[in-house]
Amino acid sequence: MPIEPELENLYIQSLFKEMELTKKVPHLLKTIYIGGGTPSSLTIEALHSIFQKLRNTFKTEKDIEFSVEVNPATVDEEKLKIFREYGVNRLSIGIQSFNDRELSFLGRIHNSEEAIKTVELIYNSRFNNISIDLIYGIPEQTVDI
């Protein structure tokens, strides 16, 4: 689902302001983690803008871990290409469940088939550091598949 342009712009401007405040701390970054939501729902232009600002604002270690959270419904080959281009080397996929009933209950915008296809897409895009988020203890959840 695309984000409203005004909201996306406000988010980017706030993020840039935070980067400017943080850059005053003189040290090399060892890890970058973009998450806490679904960064993959941002537009291609927004992702380029954020990654370019990161590159121009901070110095990083050579072997930095650069992670981005993605949602199965909002990541595609084009976004994966951009992630690779800017050095993202770890993706965290917000799958939450492989059970469609549970996904519906959680209000997720993807289904179990899309989740599996996303893992395959990411793996086939040469990302080998992948994690998936799963939720345990969903109401009425059982150990049965």
How confident is the model over 39-80, as pLDDT tens digits?
Answer: 999 999 999 999 999 999 998 988 999 999 999 999 999 999
Residue ranges per domain, the chain?
A: 5-10+28-134
- Condensed to tens digits (0 to 9), the pLDDT of residues 92-144 reads 999 999 999 999 999 899 999 999 999 999 999 999 999 999 998 888 887 77
- Predicted TM-score (pTM) of this structure: 0.87
Q: What is the DSSP letter of 42?
A: S
Q: Where are the beta strands (DSSP E) in the chain?
A: 29-34, 60-70, 90-96, 130-134
CATH code matching the domain that covers 5-10+28-134, chosen among 3.30.70.120, 3.80.30.20, 3.90.1170.40, 1.10.357.10: 3.80.30.20
**Displacement of CA 104 from its chain's centroid (Å):** 21
